[in-house]
Amino acid sequence: MKRRQILTGLLALNLLALAAAQAQDRGAIRLLVGYAPGGLSDVVARLLAEHLSTELGRTVLVENRAGAGGALAGAEAARAPKDGNTLFLGDNGSLVVNKVIYKRLPFDPDTELTGVSLIAEHPLFLVVNESFPAATLQEFLGYAKARPGALSYASPGNGSPHHVAMESFMLRAGLDLTHVPYRGTAPALTDVLGGRVPVILLDPAATAANAGTGKLRALAILAPERAPAFPDVPSIAEAGITDVEAAVFWAVMAPAGTPAEKLQTLSAAFGTALRNPDVARRLEALGLTPQPSSPGQLSAYLQHKIGTSREIVRQLNILVD
């Protein structure tokens, strides 16, 4: 009788554990974003959340945790339970650059997060307010070189891809502009539109939306070649400027130690969403190239980026207290 009671008790505990696990798998998934609402990271996250909810049969909630170049959101994800229910949409800054430029970080992206899937990549454009006294890239270079330290540029934050790309561009072009960091692209763009800061690097969608209205002027794409969607915007290579680290990527990460089977399930769901014709069309309309991957492929991709981008950042000597 005693043995039967013990077995019955163990069975009950197993059933409770199974029920708890099933309840956990039916609960909401949190997708943390390291920038303010309204920016491209936020737009991408919400597009993915919409389709992931359908794919997984679970609610996917986007939560914005702006600050420290995405490090606050990354740290929150790293501290979350290792159950696949908290994810982080990271970028170049939060996953690669921050570890080099910040003296203190609330977490280590190399050891406290693990990859789920690469999401997308896009180039950046050099854009100025309509009142800026330069209509071409060559005029901008001449004007800025004649006024070292007098001009400023806005970015979504310290360590953001836009920050590193602009500093890299200035190094190669021999320019000196003052960095003005914001808590996301949306507030940075607001001040550039208002004329409070004259220069910014923007993604393709924001460039098209604002340059098309005449409020801003796109002077160049920070890439080796012109973009098909912007045939009239020259590349910086046409001005002899090369070796600029300016491509932005996004990747979804989970807390280190998340079970491999959960990572694979989530990665497959992101892959299905990114291959969905509607999602791909909407991302491409934003100027993004969808890049679904396995966790292993993402790990190799990040290692490559760490090897190249961190060396460039060290050369630039960008440091943030």
Give the residue with greater pLDDT, 67 vs 267.
267
pLDDT at 6: 52
Amino acid at 85: N
Could you give the domains of the chain?
2-121+249-316 (3.40.190.150), 125-239 (3.40.190.10)
| φ/ψ of residue 288, rounded to 5 | -100, 145
Give the Cα-Cα-Cα angle 198, 203, 208 (nearest 5 degrees): 80
The mean pLDDT value of the chain amounts to 89
pLDDT tens digits for range 158-214: 888 899 899 999 999 999 999 999 988 889 999 999 999 999 999 998 999 998 788
Q: What is the mean pLDDT of residues 61-72?
A: 91
pLDDT tens digits for range 126-148: 999 999 999 999 999 999 999 99
CB < 8 Å & 24+ apart, contacts of 275-284? 276/51, 278/51, 279/47, 279/48, 279/51, 282/47, 283/44, 283/47, 283/120
Q: Is pLDDT above 50 for 75? A: yes
Give the residue with greater pLDDT, 287 vs 23.
287
pTM score, two decimals? 0.77
User: How many angstroms separate the CA atoms of 274 and 47, rounded?
Assistant: 10
